Amino acid sequence: MTSPSDSEPREDAAAVSRPPRPPWSAFQAALRGAGFHPSRRLGQNFLLDENLARAIARDAHLEAQEHVVEVGPGCGFLSVHLAHEDVELLAIEIDPRLAPIAAKFLEPYERARVVECDVLDGKHALNPEVLALLPQGDTPWHLVSNLPYAVSAPVLALVAEQPKPARTFTVLVQQEVADRLAASPATSDWGPLSASIQLTYDVTLGRPVPRGAFWPRPRVESRIVHGSVRQDLEPVEDRRVVRDLARALMGRRRQMVRRVLGDLMGDKDAAAARLAAAGIDGDVRTGALDLDQLSRLAKTPG
């Protein structure tokens, strides 16, 4: 037996010790063996394309031993590709039929664990059980998931609103959600979700994913989206104030900001003065306000 030389890259040694990633057919057989039928309510469209699962794990640019959260591992196909990157993987699965299947496939990876619970606590909060499992202190964490459609927007918005949000996210979402996440101001996709995500993240659209890459086939196209925490990230309290203002104003996105703000403040003149102090034209539609304007307005007393 030959031993690796000192000059050999570290990844090579790690690769030798990694178990092989089972093909989709092994996951499919496990699902069939359990008599599994996918639930539309839980957004169960499983990724079956091995190249894509590998590409998602690679495009997330994870370093060995970094902390990664996967929401909805399903039967564990993408999870195995993530665990293969030698990361600390926390996979949160709501479906008690699937969590044990994912756990079984992840058994060879000592840094991976599956927790069976809802990632959400109602509509407006992440599950405290999940929050308690996130790394503490300055240790960063990353979100990498093929997100269930019904909760993709709230999960991302809630992750972005954390005092310590995920440092990056790499998620597979429906095209319509991807468009809203990456939207520019004054476009039809720009809205409260775009604003609250972009307050925390620089967002870029990744590769489109065809319907045929999933089982069962979804009705719409999907896309990978990447987010990376902004260099100039504001403290959580400031982000929340801007987010609340964006939600309140953009509920009436076609109306002029002076009118909507006047109604919110219950005083037209005070609203006009506040807009002037923030350097914002009151005739602009609320749906055209960009993040700088929203932030300035939130910081301007009125």
Residue 167 class from Cβ within 10 Å (0-12 exposed, 13-18 middle, 19+ buried)? Answer: middle
Residue 43 interacts with ligand SAM (CB under 6 A)?
yes
* Binding residues for ligand SAM restricted to 100-129, rule: CB under 6 A: 118-120
User: What residues form DSSP beta bridges with 68?
Assistant: 89, 142
Binding map of ligand SAM across residues 67-106, x = CB under 6 A, - = no contact: ----xxxx--xx-------------xxxx--x--------
Between residues 197 and 209, which has the closer beta carbon with respect to ligand SAM? 209
Binding map of ligand SAM across residues 162-201, x = CB under 6 A, - = no contact: ----------------------------------------
Rg (CA), the chain: 22
Rounded distance, CA 261 to CA 272, Å? 8
Binding test (CB under 6 A) with ligand SAM, winner from 21, 31, 36, 44: 44
* Binding residues for ligand SAM restricted to 150-169, rule: CB under 6 A: 151
In 97-136, which residue ranges form alpha helices assigned H by DSSP? Answer: 99-106, 128-133
Rounded distance, CA 293 to CA 299, Å? 10
* Binding residues for ligand SAM restricted to 134-153, rule: CB under 6 A: 146, 148, 151
* Binding residues for ligand SAM restricted to 213-232, rule: CB under 6 A: none
Q: How many CA atoms lie less than 13 Å away from 149 in the CB half-sphere? A: 16
Binding test (CB under 6 A) with ligand SAM, winner from 30, 31, 36, 46: 46
Rounded distance, CA 135 to CA 76, Å? 22
Q: What's the farthest any 2 CA atoms get from each other in the chain? A: 83
Binding site for ligand SAM (CB under 6 A): 42-47, 71-74, 77-78, 92-95, 98, 118-120, 146, 148, 151
